[in-house]
Chain A
Amino acid sequence: MGSELSLFSGALVEKQAVNEVMKCNDLTVKFGLVLTEVQALALVATRSFALKENGRIEFGGGVIDKIIKEFCNSPYLSRHNYEDTMHELLEIFYYYKNETLDLMGDDDLIKYMKNAFNGTCQGSLELLSGRELYKLARNLRYGYALDYSDDVIQLDNDEEDEYGRY
């Protein structure tokens, strides 16, 4: 069975994915963001690695082009960090697909990532992964509203503890 599933990581599928990534250059070029074929191939390799790391498989072109199209107009992206950010975003995406128990569709998750990245995280991938998406995954797992945060409650408890000590 494993050998059957691994057919999808074959050369044909990779080539198709690289082509899809290269096509995105038409859109991103106006933001000064362009990927070479070697860089596109590296992104596809990262996707395969992230899928394997997170115990997932993907059919078709995947989400690389969707992430590129969503993030390309971000003020925090430039040609200097474009490729590295894309690698990081891919890994974060597949990790949080599992963490959110597949309760969110690809498009919704990417949109949430983009809003957080451009908003509260101000371009920080660490904050995006370690705070915003962590909270999102926890809220989804526990059935809370997506924007629920117990930071306030936590603070109250801390204060009580402090007073309790005196």
Chain B
Amino acid sequence: MEDIEKIRRIKRETLSSEYYFKSLLEQAYVLGMLSETQLEKIQFDCLSLLAKQTERYNSGGSSSIRVEGAQSLLTSIMFTIGVWLKTYPNPDEAVAAIQKESMYALYQAGRERIDGLIKSTKVLHSSIIGNLLETENVFYRSTIVDGIKGFFKLYYPEFAAQEIHITADYPVHHMMERLVGIEFIQKYLECIYYENLFCAQFSAENVHHLLCGYDEHYEELLINIYEPLLSAAIGCLLSGKDVHRLEMAPSSIQILNDLFRGKRRTEIEEILREAVSQLSGQMELTEPLKRYLRGSLPQIAAVIENAVLLQTLDRVFILPKYPKNNRKLAFSFGEKMDDEKYRKILEEIRQCRYLTDQKALIKSEVHSLADLEDILLDAELREEEILSIFRELNPAEIAALVKKHPMPSALDQYELRESQIVLGECLQKFLAALPAKERDLIKQAAAMLDSIEI
């Protein structure tokens, strides 16, 4: 008999997290918990509050306000009241409070609660900043440090408690419920806190190598760091590898493939759940962190289920990559000739009527790739002339030019000279015309070229 719960009339799931107060009023009215008269009184009270806030907003100097401004103030008032009403154990009690208390009292309580939330969120933020992951991902730091600091600088709960101000670019793994204002930032930082706790179990070097396996240029990607780490840790555990090193082998993928093949999502989730329990034996995982990890499993299970079907499990359980071990090639562009001599040759090339004469002149007078590059940029050659000169070069020279003049993006084009854009485009056309094998070799060589000595 002790387990019997009182029947709740309003279900929490039917209410919006973002517009809690408004949705609570709607539900209470629909279910007959609030009469029309009561609803009108609540509306009138809210508008009285709005009038008061408008006066404060205008510093008493103006009796009117733009509709958008009033709308924003009213949203802020309703959000603030909603923040307080969420503290009641269930929506029914919140409705009872609405009936009993004045809107002003609820608003004041909400303001105090928001002030408390700001303080506790600031403490949480400081603790996160003190234990940031060592990662080269630019979005991680820019969001968690600079972005959140920006939020606290701009957040003004008196008149715009519902504003977030920042975009919070770095994604967290858990699906965030639709929240606004300080509630969103608090929830976001909570997720970051738990993700950091988990990621901090691994050395920065191992994390770096794993993320390089995801993409060598992961530092510029808007990715969540925690997800590949958790998947890799579970993968290591299930394939009998060292969890702390996050170092799975191609054979591990095969083992995991065999393990998950033909399993339903719930079965996969069960396996993952078991793995997380085992992880806690090998790592220092607090109970709240374990709860967070378990909360991530449904999403990972869904990804695994799809990956097994599509034979892409290696994109879920990432194998580490060690870019430092990649072969490097060094290529010298050679020394440039004397400026006076260069000007003379350039003028001669420009005045040549035939392409054969131009090529002959280049062959006889230009002896370094650095000079050739300058000629290609300065001689105002046509596309077919440039392509013809490329045909005289060996693959290594083409690779060096490709490395130095990659296909410019639409954004880069604004910063480049027209001749540089033309040269980049000609190189791409030249590559496209080559047989696939030769083209790949040149691209690989270009990728390996680390430093070009000029």
Chain A residues with CB under 8 Å of chain B are: 1, 4-5, 7-8, 51, 55-63, 94, 97-98, 102, 104-108
Contacts and interface: CB of A to CB of B under 8 A. Distances in A.
B44 interface: yes
A57 B74 contact: no
B67 A59 contact: no
A8 B62 CA distance: 17
B63 A63 contact: yes
B73 to A, nearest CB: 10
Given A5-B74, A102-B62, A104-B61, 15 more contacts: A4-B43, A5-B47, A7-B47, A55-B67, A55-B68, A56-B65, A57-B67, A58-B65, A59-B64, A62-B64, A63-B64, A102-B58, A105-B59, A105-B61, A106-B63
Contacts of A5: 47, 67, 70-71, 74
Contacts of B71: 1, 5
Contacts of A105: 58-59, 61-62
Contacts of A102: 58, 62, 65-66
B55 A97 contact: no
A97 B62 contact: yes
Instruction: State the 9 A-B residue pairs at the shortest beta-carbon distance, nearest first.
Output: A105-B61, A59-B51, A58-B64, A56-B64, A55-B67, A106-B62, A57-B70, A4-B43, A56-B66
Interface in B37-73: 43-44, 46-47, 50-51, 54-55, 58-59, 61-68, 70-71
Given A1-B74, A5-B74, A51 B47 contact: no
Contacts of A51: 64
A107 B62 CA distance: 8
Interface string B109-147: 000000000000000000000000000000000000000
B74 A59 contact: no
A66 B7 CA distance: 57
A107 B61 contact: yes
Nearest to A106: B62
A104 B63 CA distance: 12
Contacts of A63: 63-64
A60 B63 contact: yes
Contacts of B47: 4-5, 7-8
B61 A106 contact: yes
5 contacts: A4-B74, A59-B55, A59-B64, A97-B62, A106-B63
Contacts of B67: 5, 55-57
Contacts of B55: 59
A160 B59 CA distance: 47
Interface of A is mostly: mixed
A4 B47 CA distance: 8
A75 to B, nearest CB: 28
Contacts of B64: 51, 56-59, 62-63, 94, 97, 106
Contact of A57 (B58, B65, B75): B65
Contacts of B62: 97, 102, 105-106
A57 B54 CA distance: 10
A97 to B, nearest CB: 6
A7 B65 contact: no
Nearest to B40: A7
Nearest to A58: B64
Given A4-B43, A4-B47, A105-B61, A59 B54 contact: yes
Nearest to A52: B67
A56 to B, nearest CB: 5
A40 B204 CA distance: 76
Contacts of A57: 64-65, 67, 70
Nearest to B71: A1
Nearest to A63: B63
Given A5-B74, A7-B44, A58 B63 contact: yes
Contact of B51 (A60, A62, A106): A60
Nearest to A107: B61
Nearest to A57: B70
A56 B66 CA distance: 4
Nearest to A3: B43
Contacts of B51: 59-60
